[in-house]
Amino acid sequence: MELTYGPEYDDFRAEVRNFCAVEGKRNKFGAMKMGEARPNQLAVDWQGKLIEAGYTARTIPKEYGGFGAKPDIIKSLIISEEFVKTGTRGGIQNQGISMLVPTLIEVGTEEQRQKYIKPTINGEMIWAQGYSEPGSGSDLASLKTKAVVDGDMFVINGQKIWTSSAQFADMCFILVRTEPDEAKHHGISYLLMSMDDPGIDVRPLVTMTGEAFFNEMFLTDVKTPVTSIVGKRGEGWRIANVTLKYERGMIGGSGGSSTGIRGLADMMHTETLSGVRAIDLPVYRDRLLKLQGRALANKYHGLRLLSNDINKTGTAVEGLIIKLSATYLAHDIYALAVDVMGEFGTLYDDSIYKRQKDWMKQYIGSFMGIIGGGTSQIQKNVISERGLGLPREPLVKYDQNGWDLLKK
């Protein structure tokens, strides 16, 4: 066990700490949630400062607008540690930055990289992810939205759903069927399309939190140049999986549960039931402690995964499990908060009774992590098949009307 990073990182840490003390203090404004709204000018300016200092977009090459540092997980870790410790706001996180940019770096053309990476990491170009369709969610590869080539353009027709940020996005990375005669996984292409096209009709869908941050997206004769394909025709499934890998990591990060436990414990020290603090009631306290045990296990598992990355150790299953465990844990933490607050935990308006945190909203919101980016059941399929080597379910086809099995 070697949990220090070595003296060669001391200077770097001091530099980051200094930045947070000087610049971080000067730039205090609330954190932005994924998909909430376009970053405002303040956020874009801050992003510019962070890139210049090398604290975000750190390893993205200079020619694409990044800082151009050599990958060093420990330095990235130090940055995030110091930012969290000092409450300094980190860089912008959105689907473009977290998912599309790494994909373009891995498999995009030089032209695509030149054109899209810089404005995306600057926070000026917002992307939507056009994967899911009404008939194709978990079974994404069954998607039907199609694109045909007409001259030097792809012409796209079909419908997408659950498309986060589409209401304000500039661009969309979208999966479409271009090779209808090929087997389902081999007929898909990965395209980049402008959201300005008049054939795109975006209709907001209100979620159970009461907000509308995802949408239906109807596509009628939408055009995008043939050069906007990432990878080759029919390779879209493979490219999409490059992107999904980054999504799973984005959702599964384990820092959240430690923060959740701390907030919950603080609340239980002030919330009283007939004069008794919730923390002093063993029935609630034991539930808190149970969750703390899980959160600690996840926290140190996060360190182990990091160490696996640095030292090239570990097995696949160790990484595959994190989204499943982190998202349910978050759900359970917020559920306890609501239980502790009782009827007051159900308040969805704070005009008369103020509470420290909007626990109910967090509780409901935790479904985003559980369902988005592949549901828990799909995670379990992946863990058991890819992680543990268990056999796939046999593929069968049902008749939609009579539940009879159809022969292939």
Partner 1 sequence: MRFGLSEEQTMLGDMLNKYLEAESSLDVIRESCDNTPHHNEKIWSGLLAQGAHTILIPEEYGGAGLSMLHSETVSEVLGKHIAPVSYLSNAVLSPLAITLAASDSQKELLLPGLASGDVSYGIGLTDAIVNRENTNLEITNGKVNGVSTFVIGGQTADKLILGKPGTLLLVDSNAEGVTIKPMITVDKTRDFAVVTLENAPCEVLGKEGSAAQAMQKLLNAGRISIAADTMGAADAMFNQALEYSKERFQFDRPIGSFQSIKHIFAEMVTELEPCRSLLWYAAHAFDEIEDEATLLACHSKAHIAEVAKTIGRATTELHGGMGFTDLLGLHFWFKRIEVNRQLLGGPEIQRHFAAVVQGWAPEAITAA
Site size with ligand FAD, rule: CB under 6 A: 19
For strands 146-150 and 214-225, give the pairing.
unpaired
Residues 6 or more apart whose Cβ sits within 8 Å of residue 256: 326, 330
Q: Which of the residues 73 through 132 are near ligand FAD (CB under 6 A)?
A: 129-132
Written in H, E and C, the secondary structure of 106-157 is HHCCHHHHHHHHHHHHCCCCCEEEECCECCECCCHHHCCCEEEEECCEEEEE
Q: How far apart are CA 246 and CA 311, in angstroms?
A: 20
164: contact with ligand FAD by CB under 6 A? yes
Judged by DSSP in three states, 200 sits in strand
Choice between 26 and 408, CB closer to partner 1: 408
Judged by DSSP in three states, 79 sits in helix
Binding partner of 387, given ligand FAD, partner 1, none, CB within 5-8 angstroms per partner class: partner 1
Choice between 64 and 127, CB closer to ligand FAD: 127
Tell me which stretch binds ligand FAD (CB under 6 A): 9-17, 161-169, 300-308, 384-392. 161-169
Tell me which stretch binds partner 1 (CB under 8 A): 1-9, 98-106, 164-172, 190-198. 1-9
Q: Which of 82, 133, 247, 271 is catalytic?
A: 247
Residues 6 or more apart whose Cβ sits within 8 Å of residue 132: 140, 160, 161, 162, 163
111 is catalytic: no
Residue from 46, 116, 190, 214 touching ligand FAD (CB under 6 A): that is: 214
Nearest distance, CB of residue 23 and ligand FAD, angstroms: 32
List the one residue out of 137, 126, 139, 69 whose CA is nearest residue 97: 126
Binding partner of 132, given ligand FAD, partner 1, none, CB within 5-8 angstroms per partner class: ligand FAD
Tell me which stretch binds ligand FAD (CB under 6 A): 79-87, 267-275, 298-306, 376-384. 376-384
Residue from 140, 200, 219, 321 touching partner 1 (CB under 8 A): that is: 321
Distances (CA, A) of 113 to 48, 96, 184, 198, 247: 19, 13, 29, 25, 20
324: contact with partner 1 by CB under 8 A? yes
